[in-house]
Structure 1
Amino acid sequence: MSQEHASEKDLIEEGLEDFAELDEIEALRAERDDFRDRFMRALADAENARKRGERDRREAEQYGGSKLARDMLPVYDNLKRALDAVGDEQREQVSAFFEGVELTMRELVNVLGRHGVTTVSPKVGDQFDPQQHQAMFEAPVPGTKAGQIIQVMTEGFMIHDRLLRPAQVGVSSNTQ
């Protein structure tokens, strides 16, 4: 083989080696980009999990007592009924007893309030709000407009910004 052929052959082999190195470099770059993408996705997933955990912790803190509060609402209702059922004359006869019931009711309201529970107390004549009220019946009552509250059976309750129990009301069905 002539020296010319040998040098051409060496040049070709060197060129092929350069192409092989370029292919290897490209493969390494692609692998690096893939690892970078996977790392960024894992980082984003970790951040999302942290945010979700923080949100769940806040919700548990604010709304964790919902079940207990909901279970206490019948106690509130019964105390309110007891206080409403007694006339002034009866109240005077057993004033110490009713003062105790009123104090118990006040303390229950205070405890619920410390935990973010507030009452939804619609009045007769207010407009029905399906977000806070539950219509127990409809009746045509003269002098009212459709959708006005005509009777309040039980108060509703919110815990922070969530409805714990809707107020139970009667609603006018007049079509005036």
Structure 2
Amino acid sequence: MSTNDPKKTVEEEELIDIDSPEALEDPEDDERLQKLIAERDDLRDKFMRALADAENARKRSERDRREAEQYGGSKLARDLLPVFDNMKRAVQSISDEGREEHKAVIEGVELTMRELLNVFRKHGIEPISPQVGERFDPQQHEAMFEAPLPGTRAGEIIQVEADGFMLHDRLLRPARVGVSSMPSS
């Protein structure tokens, strides 16, 4: 029976003891052994690649899951920022005389703003609140305008229009500021 007969089982085939001196005397056996070794090496390579692909897919899905958990609500958070801004502007626009007259309403709006900030913090959103006189940081601030203001240096914040916000380690929205363009003397 030929060695290439597909009906032949492993038990029926003559096994080669590669350690014996006469094992590879037959050139056909040597060729068959080389083919088997090449096939084994090819299958081992495919197996190792499949194992690496599976591990990479597991790591990628874990990273995607973490990112979705941390940053999945960023669109909703971005949409809520103008609500916070409007509430802050409403409180800031009330005169001292109006504060006494509308004290309860102002307190309600301020409490709502604090609660909104608490919810933001609970979900990893932190405000960026620059102060007048600080240096402009392009990583966290957006310059809405530049103006020469005596008594300041170029690049100093001269007005804060809106707070910025970070979502964990990502910028959700830069703080909107005015910057001094005073030339150095």
TM-score by length of 2: 0.85
Of 72, 77, 87 in structure 1, the residue corresponding to residue 85 of structure 2 is 77
2:172 alignment counterpart: 164
Alpha-carbon distance, 1:145 to partner: 1.3
CA change 1:15–1:68 in 2 (3 A) is closer
Residues 12-31 of structure 1: per-residue CA shift (max 9 Å, x gap)? xx999711101110110001
1:124 alignment counterpart: 132
TM-score by length of 1: 0.89
Q: Structure 1 segments of 4 or more deviating over 6 A? A: 14-17
Name the amino acid aligned to 1:175. Answer: P
Worse-superposed segment, 21-30 or 92-101: 92-101
2:15 alignment counterpart: none
Between the two proteins, the alignment pairs up a number of residues equal to 163
2:73 alignment counterpart: 65
Greater fraction helix: 1
Which structure 2 residues correspond to residues 7-156 of structure 1 after superposition, within 5 A?
A: 18-156=26-164
Residues 17-56 of structure 1: per-residue CA shift (max 9 Å, x gap)? 7111011101100010010001101100100000000000
**Residues in 2 aligned to 1:150 and 1:32: alpha-carbon distance in whole angstroms:** 72
CA change 1:157–1:21 in 2 (3 A) is same
Alpha-carbon distance, 1:99 to partner: 1.1
Query: In angstroms, what is the RMSD of aligned CA positions?
Result: 1.5
**Residues in 2 aligned to 1:72 and 1:64: alpha-carbon distance in whole angstroms:** 14
In structure 1, stretches of 5+ residues that fail to align are 1-13
CA change 1:100–1:27 in 2 (3 A) is same
**Residues in 2 aligned to 1:99 and 1:134: alpha-carbon distance in whole angstroms:** 30
In structure 2, stretches of 5+ residues that fail to align are 1-21
CA change 1:164–1:15 in 2 (3 A) is closer
Contact 2:130 2:160 (8 Å CA) reproduced: yes
CA change 1:17–1:113 in 2 (3 A) is same
CA change 1:16–1:111 in 2 (3 A) is closer
